[in-house]
Amino acid sequence: MDVVLFSIILFGSLIVTLMLGVPVAFSMSTIALLLGFFFWGGGSSFFGFISAMFNGMQGTIYLAIPMYILMAAILRYSNLADDMYDCMYKWFGRLRGGLAVGSVVICALFAAMVGLTSVATATLGSTALPSMEKRGYDQKFAAGIIMGGACIGIIIPPSVTMLIYSAVTETSPGQMFIAGVIPGLVIAVILIIYSIIYAYKNPTKAPAISKEESATWKEKMTSLRGIILPVIIIVAVIASILTGFATPTEAGAVGVVGSLICAGIKKALSKDNMKKMLTMTTNLSGSIFYIIIASVAYARITSVSGLGQTVANWVASSNLNFYVVLAFICLFFGFIGMFMDAGAALFMTGPIIVPLLHAMGFNMLVFGLVFVLLVCIGSLSPPFGICLFVMKGVAPQLSMNTIYRASIPFIVMYALFIVLFLAVPQLVTWLPGLMMG
């Protein structure tokens, strides 16, 4: 069959099923099996897809996904964020916009522990938002800074999104993790600067706490105990990767052990909490792996059709400007991220995009960072961004219109971050290059 006609059937049927409300995993797996049956060997194609899915899921990198999710679940239900926010409140409360600054700092710390935007949004939405609202912060600004800060969670390692990207593109997960460190810190600093500028331009919308509420130096120093345990976990996970003591997969186990120890110190390992931790891990891991399995089947039929190589050859021969191609890819992922899981979208389009990027000689670490930022944009974008619905779930007093408007400045900022890291790719590649050296 003609490649163009086949691609229309392949992607057109997926778009139709998604518009009909069929879950993305069911859509991709069903389409792959049906097209394989009709166009590639009938019933024998099923065995080819099953073999591909089995082989595709054998990579040890996938073992890290439930590990990091379990680590996030333990931290989520250990109330570590409460102590962290109390520390930030005491240290930054007297600064205009100080609670917003504290929220960004917590997001950066939390990011280095959990690597999931939904967990950070839920945790800060239930902890920081009520405190900011109580002290007169504008709801739109408060919700926006929490959602925008939560996106740092998939940039600073460890990151489940980066693990998926590494698996699809066969990029080193260790290098990908290290590549996110400097960009994550840069984004955190810029969000802090934005919070301070906003507060000084709008003093009534992000006021400082009163002098009566401010903490003494003794209270501030005592509150630092609230970040000792999180810092220990961060150092243990990242240091184990940097020193070569553990691979990124093994570092997930290091993080789980450290999280359990910290939860035990906090006396948070009750039967009820353990049930919540395991339920969260099972639900999220199950949904992610089902999408991965379906995506591998879909990617298989995309690959055997020769569509990816055809597109790569066409772009190479047409002498299209590199940045035009990259802009199209960015627009595609930014758009599709509003409607479906970006990891599934990457699996779906990997056989097309990866050969294309290799043919154009693009650095896969830089594109990995761009992809993660596009995931951030998708998770913040109306109408179906995951952060928007998580925020609504933990803050039912906010209208969806308020939450939508709160996300817009941060969508713009993350788009500008993409431009920044494309213009200065050394911010992404320098640290991994140093470690490899």
**pLDDT tens, the chain, 437 aa long:** 566 677 677 777 777 777 777 776 777 778 777 877 776 666 666 666 677 666 666 666 677 778 877 887 887 787 776 777 778 778 877 778 887 888 788 777 776 666 667 777 777 777 778 877 877 888 898 889 988 888 887 888 777 788 878 877 878 888 888 888 899 999 999 999 998 898 888 888 888 777 777 778 888 888 887 778 777 877 777 777 777 777 777 777 888 888 888 888 888 888 888 898 888 888 877 777 777 777 777 766 766 666 656 666 666 666 677 778 788 777 777 666 655 656 666 766 676 777 777 777 788 899 889 888 988 888 888 766 778 878 888 788 888 888 999 999 999 999 999 999 999 999 999 988 887 65
Q: Is 30 exposed, middle or buried (0-12, 13-18, 19+ CB in 10 A)?
A: middle
pLDDT at 190: 93
**Domain total of the chain:** 1
Tell me which DSSP letter residue 385 carries: -
pLDDT at 416: 93
Alpha helices in 266-341 (DSSP H): 271-304, 307-318, 322-336
pLDDT at 187: 92
Counts of helices then strands in the chain (DSSP H, E): 22, 0
Give the helix/strand (H/E) hosting 61: none
Q: Which residue has the tokens 């969000």?
A: 191
How many other C-beta atoms lie within 10 A of the C-beta of residue 430? Answer: 14
pLDDT at 183: 92
Q: How far, in Å, CA of 233 to CA of 422, rounded?
A: 31
Helix axes of 64-76 and 98-114: crossing angle, nearest 10 degrees: 140
Dihedral angle over CA of 135, 141, 144, 148, nearest 10: -90
pLDDT at 418: 92
Whether the CB-CB separation of 130 and 103 falls below 8 Å is answered with no
List, in order, residues 6 or more apart from 111 with CB less than 8 Å away: 120, 152, 153, 154, 155, 156, 184
Whether the CB-CB separation of 148 and 416 falls below 8 Å is answered with no
pLDDT at 245: 79
Domain with 178 in it = 3-436
Angle (CA) 116-117-122 rounded to 5° is: 105
Tell me which DSSP letter residue 39 carries: H
Whether the CB-CB separation of 280 and 76 falls below 8 Å is answered with yes
Q: How far, in Å, CA of 146 to CA of 136, rounded?
A: 16
pLDDT at 55: 65
Angle (CA) 347-321-318 rounded to 5° is: 85
Residues in the chain: 437
pLDDT at 412: 92
| Residue 243, token pair as written in the block | 């020193």
List, in order, residues 6 or more apart from 310 with CB less than 8 Å away: 3
Q: How far, in Å, CA of 214 to CA of 115, rounded?
A: 32
Residue 25 phi, psi dihedral angles, 5° rounding? -65, -45
pTM for the structure as a whole: 0.77
